[in-house]
Amino acid sequence: MKVILARDLQAASERVAEANRNRFRQHGVLAINLMGSPGAGKTALLEATLPRLHPRYGCTVVEGDIATTRDGERIAALGVPVVQLNTGGACHLDPAMVARALEELPGGGRLLFVENVGNLVCPAEVDIGTDRTVVVFSVTEGPDKPEKYPLAFSRADAVVLSKVDLLPHLDLRREDFLDVLGRCAPAAAVFPVSARTGEGVDAWCAWIEAQVTNQYSHPPGEG
């Protein structure tokens, strides 16, 4: 009887993630894993971000959803190359899905955004080979969520606090979100953003540009 161990599958997954990472290095690409709850505003954030960064860096996008091509269509409408991954039920992307999507995207770009399946749990547990992890966290979710979903926040390089234009309509204070993020995402840069009004988008885009510079200002192996 053939026995397959979960830890061997895990090792195989890690090898594919590492291959993705190497591919990004070879092509001078910075890859960002965007995660967050369904409806956090991940795609809206991309719609606010891509028109600013695509002309200068060349962006490509992988859209992960259980079903539909809705988000892929929104990105394609911006003129940015996109592949839609439909997981058919799986609640996160795995590195092999991302590797398959990369085969369909044109080369030459410097920035890849991978919008993970809307979910604050397992996308945080699965390494897909990206260089930075960003959590999109909307004010309508409430300031208790970083403590309830600690892994996603503790591993984030940045947190985009989205939909801040709605704060005047909520009994919640911006300071309460910033306080909890300071505790639960101590390593993360925090960007209060409204994709609707454009508030905070400049600072968020400047952070991305700094990540590209940081990633490639040192020779491989030194940075």
Residues that bind Mg ion (CB under 5 A): 42-43, 71
Residue 92 interacts, among Mg ion, Zn ion, none and using kind-specific CB cut-offs from 5 to 8 Å, with Zn ion
Q: Which is nearer to Zn ion, 117 or 161 (CB)?
A: 117
Question: What ranges make up the beta strands (E) of the chain?
Answer: 30-35, 59-65, 82-86, 111-115, 132-138, 158-162, 189-192
Write the interaction track for Zn ion spanning residues 84-113; mark x where CB under 5 A is met and - where it is not. -------xx---------------------
Q: Which is nearer to Zn ion, 117 or 193 (CB)?
A: 117
User: Which residues contact residue 130 at a Cβ distance below 8 angstroms, ignoring those fewer than 6 apart?
Assistant: 20, 21, 24, 31, 32, 33, 98, 112, 114
Beta bridge partners of 111: 30, 59
CA 108/CA 27 separation, integer angstroms: 8
Q: How far is the CB of 126 from Zn ion (least distance, A)?
A: 7
Residue 122 interacts, among Mg ion, Zn ion, none and using kind-specific CB cut-offs from 5 to 8 Å, with Zn ion
Residue 99 interacts, among Mg ion, Zn ion, none and using kind-specific CB cut-offs from 5 to 8 Å, with none
Could you say which of 96, 122, 167, 172 contacts Zn ion (CB under 5 A)? 122
User: Which residues contact residue 83 at a Cβ distance below 8 angstroms, ignoring those fewer than 6 apart?
Assistant: 61, 62, 63, 72, 101, 104, 105
Write the interaction track for Zn ion spanning residues 32-71; mark x where CB under 5 A is met and - where it is not. ----------------------------------------
Contact positions vs Zn ion (CB under 5 A): 91-92, 122
